[in-house]
Amino acid sequence: MVAVDVDLKPLVEQARAGDSRAWDRLFQRYQLPLYTYVYEWARDEQASLDLVQETFISAFRNLDGLRDDARFGSWLFGIAHQKCAQRWRRLSRERIVAVEELPEPPAEEDDNPAAWLLRREQEEQLMSLLEQLSPAHRSVLMLHFLEDFPIEEIAAITGAPPGTVKSRLHHARRQLRALLEESQ
Amino acid sequence: MKNPREILLGRHAAVGPKLDAIRREALRLANNPGPAADAPRTAPPLLVQMWEQLVLPCRAAWTVLAAAWAVILLLQVQGDTPPASGQESAPLTPMAVALLQEQRDLRAELLGATRVRPVERDATPKPRSDAEPGTGSAARRRATPGEPESPALFA
């Protein structure tokens, strides 16, 4: 797992003081992981962009709600998670099931077609395996993969008890491994 | 070999420019929420405050009360409505006039017979002997111990 966290506390402190550049750097750091996580819920590019933007605005206006500056990332993901859940509930009420095809991945410039194919195969395999997990398991696993959040922070993001998160993560990993072995 | 994070992020790398744009837009919106939000909010007038604090919280009760009053007023207006103009302007037939006159006479006769006549009081005082025994001062004087009672008392 790649270490993704740098010390964000000084940036958060500057953001608290109203420094727009600090906000910009914080948002820049999290925009792609947030979008990736949100996309797993929304399955729609424009909706995911809107959700990320709403998350940024909400974070900007409610920074007082963040108690521990070191947990800025999980706090931001928590806001996004709530917005995704709200949207999902609204769509469920409206009985709109938005099942759309995944967008085409970006065209890669690679001189080695074999490496490109191998990489594409790995990506497709991982994504197809993730698709087979339940939403709760996929959500926990995504947060673990994307930001390597600890159990407590994933629990704070998803609103589930830490014990439940630990169990879900364990089962999701085991299921993913089993699916991987089946596919090979 | 890519790790899962790189695979997941790499799948959405194409939206990077769009994410940059919405990040800038979000910061712009957050910094400038608009003139309406910046403008100082003045207190609403007293009537508006009363409306908001007295009427709006229990609007259902006020609606029921208003409906009840509307029904009461409607019933009252219907009760006060004069008879239709056709009925009012219809001329009375001679027979009806005679019947009405007869009823009027009968009513006057009945009222005259049962009327309580006022008691006619005689202005001149009665003789003292006509007074009821035992009520006058003479009787009180006679009722002294040792004297025989008046024969009228034993009658």
Q: Which amino acid is at B51?
A: W
Rg (CA), chain A: 18
Cα B9 from Cα A37, distance rounded (Å)? 9
A23/B7 Cβ within 8 A: no
* Whole-number Å distance between alpha carbons of A48 and A28: 16
Q: Which domains does chain A have, with CATH numbers?
A: 1-102 (1.10.1740.10), 113-184 (1.10.10.10)
pLDDT in tens, B85-103: 555 556 778 888 999 999 9
Pick A126's closest partner by Cβ from B4, B12, B27. Answer: B4
- B27:A4 CB<8 A: no
Give the pLDDT band (50/70/90) at residue B47. confident
For residue B142, pLDDT over 90 is answered with no
Can you tell me which residue has the tokens 């947990």? A71
ipTM for this model = 0.75
Residues in chain A closer than 8 A to B23 (CB atoms): 24, 27-28, 31, 53, 56
| Nearest of B35, B27, B19 to residue A15 by alpha carbon | B27
Cα B25 to Cα A160: distance, rounded to the nearest angstrom: 32
Which range, A169-173, B42-46, B77-81, has the best average confidence (pLDDT)? A169-173
Residues of chain A predicted below pLDDT 70: 1-6, 95-122, 184
Residue B32 touches partner A, C-beta closer than 8 Å = no
- And the tokens for A133? 């997990």
The domains of chain B are located at: 1-38
Asked if A127's CB is within 8 angstroms of B10's CB, the reply is no
Is B28 part of the contact surface with chain A (CB cutoff 8 Å)? Answer: no
Q: What was the pLDDT predicted at A125?
A: 76
Using CB atoms, pick whichever of A27, A60, A145 lies closest to residue B5: A145
Tell me what the mean pLDDT of segment B8-14 comes to. Answer: 88
Q: Which residues of A touch B28 (CB under 8 A)?
A: none
| Interface contact flag, B10 A123, Cβ < 8 Å | yes
